[in-house]
């Protein structure tokens, strides 16, 4: 039976790399996006061209009704979910605490925290043994910023990812007996267009000398860690974190 995976924020960056890799590993993939339909369709087209199954799923994960509708659409298009990758996220230009507004903070937390909770809720409803599910695995894409603190980072973004780490640990304990494993990958400085569109262009190149490995990471390197945590090779791993951060 083909396993079904949902990857949020899968039209670009780490999400895109993860969706493509999971399809190569035999998953049918729900490709979530919020705005860039063309990019999401390209991911689906590439998967289908290689003989895989995929479906675009438009939803703003910060909106509860849209999350519920997205999972319902996944049910009807690809079947019961067995793997969830919470990857969608937002950040804004780096700013000190004096420059932060409630509007900005709430927007960051609505997507990066509330959105993850909502997607986990809907996945657990379908995966949990007590609901007639077959179990499954969840990977939350967090950030090295959550581990290192906000110094030199985006303070509101780092705080939101700290909340994701707490969600990972707590949910792993809650649902372990229901056949669901919950883990996290914490990327460091990765070459994606997130910094170009929401953060600072060229940021990875400017800070890579602070990384012990002296380079930024590629989305595909993070995707490999995500895929391993979802796989049967990690069947006795839950509540754990992989830092894909070049030693930082």
* 109 contacts 163 by C-beta, under 8 angstroms: yes
The pLDDT score that the predictor gives to residue 105 is 94
Task: List all residues 6 or more positions away from 235 whose beta carbon is below 8 Å from its beta carbon.
Answer: 181
The active-site residue, picked from 27, 33, 157, 191, is 157
The pLDDT score that the predictor gives to residue 81 is 98
Burial of 85 (C-beta count, 10 Å sphere; 0-12/13-18/19+): buried
Answer yes or no: is pLDDT of 236 > 50: yes
Each residue's pLDDT tens digit, 99-136: 899 999 999 999 999 999 999 999 999 999 999 999 99
- Give the 3-state secondary structure of the chain: CCCEEEECCCCCHHHHHHHHHHHHCCCEEEEEECCCHHHHHHHHHHHHHCCCCEEEEECCCCCHHHHHHHHHHHHHHCCCCCEEEECCCCCCCCCCHHHCCHHHHHHHHHHHHHHHHHHHHHHHHHHCHHHCCCCEEEEEECCHHHHHCCCCCCHHHHHHHHHHHHHHHHHHHHHHHHCEEEEEEEECCECCCHHHHCCCCCHHHHHHHHCCCCCCECHHHHHHHHHHHHCHHHCCCCCCEEEECCCC
In angstroms, rounded to a whole number, what is the distance separating the alpha carbons of residues 35 and 115?
16
Answer yes or no: is pLDDT of 214 > 80: yes
Answer yes or no: is pLDDT of 165 > 60: yes
Q: What are phi and psi of 30, to 5 degrees?
A: -85, 120
* Cα 181 to the center of its chain, rounded Å: 15
The pLDDT score that the predictor gives to residue 63 is 98
The pLDDT score that the predictor gives to residue 64 is 98
Residue 154 falls in the annotated catalytic set: no
Highest CATH level, class, for 4-244: alpha beta
Q: Taking the model in full, what pTM does it have?
A: 0.93
Each domain of the chain, given as residue ranges in start order, spans 4-244
Strands 83-86 and 136-141: parallel
State the average pLDDT for the chain.
92
Using the structure block, give the residue that is written with the tokens 């372990």. Answer: 176
Beta bridge pairs of residue 4? 28
In angstroms, rounded to a whole number, what is the distance separating the alpha carbons of residues 112 and 137?
19
């Amino acid at each position: 039976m083909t396993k079904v995976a949902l990857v949020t924020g899968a039209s670009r960056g780490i999400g895109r790399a993860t969706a493509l890799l999971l399809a190569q590993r035999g998953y049918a993939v729900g490709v979530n996006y919020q705005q860039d339909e063309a990019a999401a369709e390209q991911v689906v087209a590439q998967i289908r061209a290689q003989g895989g199954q995929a479906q675009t799923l438009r939803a703003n994960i910060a909106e509860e009704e849209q999350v519920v509708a997205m999972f319902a659409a996944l049910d009807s298009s690809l079947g019961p979910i067995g793997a969830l990758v919470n990857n969608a996220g937002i950040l804004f230009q780096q700013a000190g605490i004096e420059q932060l507004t409630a509007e900005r903070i709430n927007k960051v937390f609505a997507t990066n925290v509330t959105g993850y909770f909502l997607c986990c809720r809907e996945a657990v409803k379908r995966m949990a043994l007590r609901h007639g599910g077959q179990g499954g695995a969840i990977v939350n894409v967090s950030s090295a910023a959550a581990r290192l603190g906000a110094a030199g980072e985006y303070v509101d973004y780092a705080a939101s990812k700290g909340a994701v780490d707490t969600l990972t640990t707590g949910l792993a304990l809650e649902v372990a007996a229901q056949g669901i494993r919950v883990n996290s990958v914490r990327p460091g400085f990765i070459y994606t267009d997130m910094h170009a569109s929401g953060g600072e262009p060229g940021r990875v190149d400017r800070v890579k000398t602070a990384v012990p490995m002296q380079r930024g990471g590629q989305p595909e390197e993070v995707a490999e860690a995500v895929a391993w945590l979802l796989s049967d090779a990690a069947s006795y791993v839950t509540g754990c974190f992989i830092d894909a951060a070049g030693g930082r």
